[in-house]
Amino acid sequence: MSPDQETDIPPILTEPVYPLPGSVGVPDYAPGERETLVSEIRTLLREKDAVLVAHYYTDEDLQMIADETGGTVADSLEMARFGNRHPASTLVVAGVRFMGETAKILNPEKRVLMPTLQAECSLDLGCPPEKFIPFCDAHPDRTVVVYANTCAEVKARADWVVTSSIAVDVVRHLKEQGKKVLWAPDRFLGNYVQRVTGADMLLWQASCIVHERFKAEAIQNMVNHYPDAAILVHPESPDSVIALADVVGSTTQLINAARELPNPRFIVATDNGIFYKMRQAAPDKIFMEAPSAGEGATCESCAHCPWMAMNHLRNLADVLKNGSNEIHVPEDIRVRALRATQRMVDFAAARN
């Protein structure tokens, strides 16, 4: 059944219904401050038995420190898995709030800190539990699959949690078992998974404010200028952009494609924080941002997540010093959210 055959489809959230963080981002450091902070953070990580788990979209300085201190820079699936197997008693998660919550759901015995607790995600905000839970209750015949970009309470209502790197495999597995899926929150990723798997999926209608802005026509114009370029697309992008892609995948899958494809240049439709790792993976290749503002449009996100940009050296040093910004998830919600989250981790382990 397609979603438009249903009567009670959630509203399409085309306009954000929440405040964006505006120009908050990495500060201008005073002369010498950056170097001082980097060295302070290295020492504090050691002293506090802490490890830095950073997403590819965060500031290059944070990615560099995570790499150099035995932490990780990863996609959201690998961030969850890394925190789970690393022995440090404190996980410092540089990313957005759902990533810190996922770490806490999987590691209740560890202290989970974040440089900022204000870093949201439009997908998480677009799927409030008070609306999502009744929607699930109205469709008891469907297996509830939620993207990791959701709050703990939404995960607690789900049967499965998935990330973009594993979504197709999980839904294919459910289809083979004859299951019908209720998918949330990303409508574009949901559409993509539905097309690839042919599964019966009812889709929640939220979207990512970064990826939804990529413009197919402008990308096509760019390809006309650079016919040797390959197009790499994160599946949170609109269907018309995905249709142009040479590779569609999670952040890690896109970095691997940059390394493995023979093309000398790439048009990349995802957050530009990923370029740090892409350049390391393929130093001789050229990476170009996919245009996110077509003619007459405005560029509100400019291929960079405003919430990811709230993580920087100053607030990272502060949380390590003060132990502030700790993530807490109420135990009853955590235990229920763990069921669906652990299923994802186990599925990923069995697949490898």
- Which positions lie near ligand SF4, rule CB under 6 A? 96, 121-123, 149, 208-210, 236, 271, 305, 307-308
Residue 76 lies near ligand 13P (rule: CB under 6 A): yes
Choosing among ligand SF4, ligand 13P, none, which partner's interface includes residue 168 (Cβ < 5 to 8 Å by kind)? none
| The one among 58, 107, 122, 163 contacting ligand 13P by CB under 6 A | 163
Residue ranges of E strands in 153-307: 160-162, 180-184, 201-203, 229-233, 247-248, 265-269, 286-289
From residue 143, give the alpha-carbon distance in Å to each of 178, 183, 234, 311: 10, 8, 24, 35
Residue 301 Cβ vs ligand SF4, minimum distance, rounded to whole Å = 8
How far apart, in whole angstroms, are the C-alpha atoms of residue 64 and residue 72? Answer: 9
| CB of 71 vs ligand 13P, minimal distance in Å | 16
Query: Residues 203, 189: contact at Cβ < 8 Å?
Result: no
- What residue 251 binds from ligand SF4, ligand 13P, none (CB within 5 to 8 A, per partner kind)? ligand 13P
State which residue, 153 or 236, has the beta carbon closest to ligand 13P: 236
Cβ-Cβ contacts under 8 Å for 194 (sequence gap 6 or more): 171, 183, 201, 203
Task: Give min distance, CB of 234 to ligand 13P, in A.
Answer: 6
CA–CA–CA angle 230, 308, 57 (5° rounding)? 30
CA–CA distances in Å: residue 140 to residues 6, 37, 143, 144, 185: 14, 51, 8, 9, 18
For ligand 13P, the binding residues in 128-157 under the rule CB under 6 A are: 149
Q: Is 120 in the site for ligand 13P (CB under 6 A)?
A: no
Q: Give whichever of 153 and 212 is closer to ligand 13P, judged by the CB atom.
A: 212
Binding-site partner at residue 250 among ligand 13P, ligand SF4, none, CB < 5 to 8 Å by type: ligand 13P
Residue 236 lies near ligand 13P (rule: CB under 6 A): yes
Tell me: does residue 75 bind ligand 13P (CB under 6 A): yes
Query: Which SS3 state, helix, strand or coil, does residue 303 take?
Result: coil
Query: What is the distance between the alpha carbons of residues 180 and 1, in angstroms, rounded to a whole number?
Result: 9
Q: Is 256 exposed, middle or buried (0-12, 13-18, 19+ CB in 10 A)?
A: middle
Where does this chain touch ligand 13P (CB under 6 A) — which range of 71-79, 85-93, 154-162, 219-227? 71-79
- Asked if 208 interacts with ligand 13P (CB under 6 A), we say yes
Q: What residue ranges bind ligand 13P (CB under 6 A)?
A: 75-77, 149, 163-165, 208, 234, 236, 250-251
